[in-house]
């Protein structure tokens, strides 16, 4: 067991740093790696013992860490997260998950609620496809066009997808996001996007029993504001902060506003 867990943290490029005693776990979203937290990490490191890692398929070891069967559902990523927490002997943590990592953390917290003191979910969505009475933001044809574009010419797809998702004219962030996408093997990126965009974990949202703070930008091409309101109602006691900003990556494009929210939501209990 010990060997498995050590390999998990190392394989996923695990990093641990910070001066605080409580533990914060930072988990990034699709198309980025743990470097996405660079602007916010100093704030966390002053207050927390910070753990970060690269999701399967991402970062310098992405090809080694990705398993098409295990990571064909978000549950496989949740299992990775739990393996890392166990290997690092985490008894309780503040979990911060962006995009797909929002639901990854939610699934992990349902399986092992004692490990999660609270969660901050940024741009999270339980379902991306529209449904009766539910606005996910995408129709089936939208997703098929996305998958076809990825398959036909991955580099051209990244060139169009990155600025659209970043949502603001921030050349540095667009370049960082594009480069992280280019580092993903195209077939892994395609399969990951299929896993994300065809997932539906709405039925599990009500099972989340830990305190949840949702953060959402007012304009997000990937996740409509309606989704964050749906989650806020589905998860008992959840709070929601809507940032007056555009784009799906506020931790990269609006770090000052994110810091303000983190200060308000987390700093009272971070010691």
Q: How does pLDDT run along the chain (271 residues), one tens digit per residue?
A: 334 444 789 999 999 999 888 999 999 999 999 999 999 999 999 999 999 999 999 999 999 999 999 999 999 999 999 999 999 999 999 999 999 999 999 999 999 999 999 999 999 999 999 999 999 999 999 999 999 999 999 999 999 999 999 999 999 999 999 999 999 999 999 999 999 999 999 999 999 999 999 999 999 999 999 999 999 999 999 999 999 999 999 999 999 999 999 999 997 655 4
* 262, 236 Cβ separation under 8 angstroms: no
Q: Residues with catalytic annotation?
A: 99, 220, 248
* 86, 8 Cβ separation under 8 angstroms: no
Radius of gyration of the chain (CA): 17
Paired with 50 in beta bridges are 17, 24
Other CB atoms closer than 10 Å to residue 145's CB: what's the count?
12
Edge-to-edge strand ranges of the sheet holding 116-122: 15-17, 49-52, 23-27, 93-98, 116-122, 212-219, 239-246
pTM, rounded to two decimals: 0.95
Written as six digits, the tokens of 188 are 């892994």
* 40, 259 Cβ separation under 8 angstroms: yes
Paired with 96 in beta bridges are 26, 120
Query: HEC states along 70-100?
Result: HHHCHHHHHHHHHHHHHHCCCCCEEEEEECH
Burial of 102 from C-beta contacts in 10 A (0-12 / 13-18 / 19+): buried
């Amino acid at each position: 067991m010990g060997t498995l867990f050590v390999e998990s943290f190392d394989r996923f490029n695990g990093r641990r740093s910070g001066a605080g005693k409580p533990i914060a776990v930072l988990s990034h979203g699709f198309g980025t790696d743990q470097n996405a937290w660079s602007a916010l990490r100093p704030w966390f490191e002053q207050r927390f013992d910070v753990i970060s890692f690269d999701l399967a398929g991402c970062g310098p070891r992405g090809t080694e860490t990705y398993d098409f069967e295990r990571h064909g559902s978000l549950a496989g990523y949740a299992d990775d997260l739990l393996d890392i927490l166990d290997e690092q002997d985490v008894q309780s943590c503040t979990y911060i998950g962006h995009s797909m990592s929002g639901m990854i953390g939610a699934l992990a917290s349902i399986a092992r609620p004692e490990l999660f003191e609270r969660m901050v979910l940024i741009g999270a969505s339980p379902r991306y496809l529209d449904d009766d009475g539910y606005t996910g933001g995408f129709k089936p044809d939208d997703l098929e066009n996305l998958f076809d574009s990825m398959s036909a010419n991955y580099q051209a797809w990244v060139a169009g997808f990155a600025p659209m998702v970043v949502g603001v004219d921030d050349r540095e962030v667009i370049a960082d996001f594009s480069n992280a996408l280019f580092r993903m093997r195209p077939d892994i990126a395609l399969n990951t996007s299929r896993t994300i965009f065809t997932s539906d974990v709405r039925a599990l949202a009500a099972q989340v029993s830990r305190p949840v703070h949702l953060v959402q930008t007012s304009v997000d091409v990937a996740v409509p504001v309606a989704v964050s309101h749906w989650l806020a109602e589905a998860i008992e006691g959840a709070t929601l902060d809507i940032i007056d900003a555009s784009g799906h990556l506020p931790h990269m494009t609006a770090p000052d506003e994110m810091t303000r929210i983190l200060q308000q939501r987390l700093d009272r209990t971070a010691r």
